[in-house]
Amino acid sequence: MGVFVFLPLVLPLTALPIARLAELHLHPRVATRLLSGLAGVLALCSTLCLGLLVVVGTAQLPGNPLPDAWSDPEVREAVPYDEIAGKAAIVALAVVAVGCTTAAGRHRRVRRRAHRALAGLPGGELAVLTDTAPYAYALPGSAAARLPDAGTGADARIRAGGGARIRARIRARIRVCLRALALVRGGGHGRGRVVVSTGMLDCLDTRERAALLAHEQAHLIGGHHRYLLAVRLAARANPLLRPLRAAVAYTTERWADEEAARVTGERTVVARAIGKAALVSRGTPTPTLAGFAAPGPVPRRVAALLEPAPTAVNWPSMSTAVGLAVWTAAAGTLGSALSSANATITLFLVLKAATPL
């Protein structure tokens, strides 16, 4: 095998062109699923490669519990500089384990903390918080079985200490949001809650609030937090996959933008709401939660909404220069994934041939 055993660690570089091309030429829903799956496969291959390098590189060390046959010269010949590579792989694998555990733990803690903060509010798919800081995001998890009543629910959402005029304004905003949410639910029931602050609602008019809620409902219905968490873990497993993480963060937002435009039927209103929110929003509690104005190329999102809706699959023809580049990048990415899997499986078979597992 020689140096080819290290291919799974470096071949994620070849997936970067397809990330950019998928953003431009695929429907956001298709691009999100494609890039997330690709990142997961490449990260798994590189992690398995590190594990097998640890086995081969440390099998000859005294006192290890591994089979003696794994330290035979024939096995070590499969890995150049086997002892050095094995020791380096131990450190790399430990970093991967700590990084992935930290990222997954933070995602879980933020979600649990957010749900505890909303525990005192009436059940429903919408949680409006009296906060001057403008933010809106989709919080996945358990949602209540019904929408809150527009009267009692609104009163319960208002923190004590506000004057009568402030409470009346907040109730009015919540009623408008609840009516908008009833129009855009579209099957999102039970998937989580839309969390929005009164500071964000103050920045938007009635139609823009409907666009905001449709956008956040699309995040919940599509389970976008799963894609964001998957690519974040993949980037922790192999830093070369970080551009894919950024690409999926963009495509999930575009996916929700298009769903909001489809539900409301007003692409320009959605674009205007995104632009307004981006100027004032402070983002989401963690990058693995999707938000209305998440950091990223907001001007590209707005420009895309001012154009016609994309088709489900929009690969350009191979007869054009752009089309040839897209198909070449797609073929190269597929070949990279297969090469990564092949190198990992081959090393596994070498060890199995030495001593049956």
Residue 165 lies in domain: 126-305
**What's residue 102's pLDDT?**
93
Query: What is each CA distance from 180 to 110, 210, 289, in whole angstroms?
Result: 27, 5, 22
Of all helices (H) and strands (E), which one includes residue 195?
Answer: strand 192-197
State mean pLDDT over 155-178. Answer: 50
Do 61 and 150 share a domain, yes or no? no
**What's residue 142's pLDDT?**
55
Quote the CA–CA distance of 11 and 244 in Å, as a whole number.
13
Is the sign of the CA dihedral 346, 351, 356, 357 positive or negative? negative
Do 264 and 350 share a domain, yes or no? no
Quote the CA–CA distance of 119 and 223 in Å, as a whole number.
22
Quote the CA–CA distance of 186 and 176 in Å, as a whole number.
18
Count how many domains the chain has.
2
Tokens standing for 142? 């358990």
In-domain check, residue 63: yes
Q: What is the pLDDT of residues 32-59, one digit of tens each?
A: 998 998 899 889 888 888 887 777 767 6
In-domain check, residue 323: no
**What's residue 252's pLDDT?**
92
In the predicted model, is pLDDT for residue 314 greater than 70?
Answer: no
In the predicted model, is pLDDT for residue 190 greater than 60?
Answer: no
Do 178 and 299 share a domain, yes or no? yes
Do 194 and 298 share a domain, yes or no? yes
In the predicted model, is pLDDT for residue 144 greater than 60?
Answer: no
In the predicted model, is pLDDT for residue 29 greater than 80?
Answer: yes
Mean pLDDT, the chain, whole residue set: 76
- Residue 190: left (phi > 0), alpha (psi -120 to 50), or beta? left
Q: What is the pLDDT of residues 234-282, one digit of tens each?
A: 999 999 999 898 899 999 999 999 999 998 888 999 999 888 888 887 6
Question: Which candidate, 225, 227, 216, places its Cα nearest to that of 274?
Answer: 216
Question: Parallel, antiparallel, or unpaired: how do β-strands 192-197 and 126-129 relate?
Answer: parallel
Do 79 and 147 share a domain, yes or no? no
Do 46 and 186 share a domain, yes or no? no
Is the sign of the CA dihedral 183, 188, 192, 196 positive or negative? negative
Do 96 and 138 share a domain, yes or no? no
Q: Print burial letters for 71-102: b (CB count within 10 Å at least 16), e (below 16).
A: beeebbebbeebeebbbebbebbeebeebbee
In the predicted model, is pLDDT for residue 341 greater than 80?
Answer: no
Quote the CA–CA distance of 83 and 306 in Å, as a whole number.
57
Do 226 and 299 share a domain, yes or no? yes
Do 80 and 172 share a domain, yes or no? no
Question: Which candidate, 107, 272, 116, 145, places its Cα nearest to that of 203?
Answer: 272
Q: Which residue has the tokens 């139609």?
A: 207
In-domain check, residue 311: no
Do 227 and 339 share a domain, yes or no? no
Of all helices (H) and strands (E), which one includes residue 26?
Answer: none
Quote the CA–CA distance of 316 and 64 in Å, as a whole number.
55
